[in-house]
Amino acid sequence: MPGRIETRREGPLGWIVFDHPERRNAITAAMWQRLPEVAAEINADPAVRVVILRGAGDVAFAAGADISEFQQNRSGEGAARYDRENQDAMQALAAIQKPVLAAIHGFCVGGGCAIALTADLRYSADDGVFAIPAARLGLGYGAAGIETLVATVGLPAAKEIFFTARRLDAAEALRVGLVNRVLPKADLDAFVRETALSIAANAPLTLASAKSVMRELSRDRAERDGEAISASIRACYDSSDYQEGVRAFLEKRTPEFKGR
């Protein structure tokens, strides 16, 4: 079956690659089904400290869900199952406790844009193209996906992106907050790798705590898990890494964090 999710490790970095280049890395049903397993595996790997999402090649991050499968998998009784698998994949990516970066070349459209929005940091090449064309397909777009879009770019920009279904170039995506930075295409991969390695050198428990706390603070106040916030902060202070960080600072050397 064409299309697959590739994973690889590079020191402290873990890569999740959408590999379907003949269709601009469009995500097939089998790829959606595979993503939760891949996300859980890479999240559980203690050697991986930072995760990078990327499309194979340099033409596309992911050009959305594979529309050629829609009549078979996204109609009738199968539509609910397909949407559930899609949501499970997004939730699994969003649940990764480590920092997640997206390296975006070319097309980042529809489901591909939704995948990119699960990342903590999004870096785009200057040829990036962004869109959510659900309104041109007539499909119902999940509330969780719209909520993430609104949280990222704000309500006015989210309405324009969704209602017009038009494409945004990289510069406009940066202006509205879809991406953190735009780089020359030739420089993107090296920049993302260097940034990921610099993040990986920081204390893993502190990064996980900060990501968890920010996730809780994004919820309505009544829904926040205050104990989970306090526990993650306490875990940092109780760790050997905290002692190592203080010693390294006093000794004017680079700390060596172990994640415990």
Please check whether residues 221 and 141 belong to one and the same domain. Answer: no
Give me the pLDDT at residue 77, please: 66
Residue 258 forms part of a structural domain: no
Give me the pLDDT at residue 74, please: 60
Please check whether residues 119 and 219 belong to one and the same domain. Answer: no
pLDDT cut 90: percent of the chain above it: 80
Residue 178 forms part of a structural domain: yes
Residue 257 forms part of a structural domain: no
Please check whether residues 123 and 70 belong to one and the same domain. Answer: yes
Please check whether residues 151 and 211 belong to one and the same domain. Answer: no
Domain that holds residue 243: 203-250
Give me the pLDDT at residue 69, please: 73
Residue 67 has pLDDT above 80, yes or no: no
Of the candidates 155, 152, 113, 115, the residue with the CA atom closest to the CA atom of residue 134: 113
What is the tally of structural domains in the chain?
2
Measured CA to CA, the distance from residue 135 to residue 140 in angstroms comes to 8
Residue 191 forms part of a structural domain: yes
Please check whether residues 112 and 216 belong to one and the same domain. Answer: no
Mean pLDDT, the chain, whole residue set:
93
Please check whether residues 101 and 219 belong to one and the same domain. Answer: no
Q: What is the pLDDT of residues 135-176, one digit of tens each?
A: 998 888 888 899 999 999 999 999 999 999 999 999 999 999
Please check whether residues 238 and 111 belong to one and the same domain. Answer: no
Residue 123 has pLDDT above 80, yes or no: yes
pLDDT cut 70: percent of the chain above it: 96
The encoded tokens of residue 209 equal 């705590």
Give me the pLDDT at residue 171, please: 98
With H, G, I as helix, E, B as strand and everything else as coil, classify residue 46. coil
Please check whether residues 223 and 170 belong to one and the same domain. Answer: no
Please check whether residues 192 and 215 belong to one and the same domain. Answer: no
pTM: 0.93
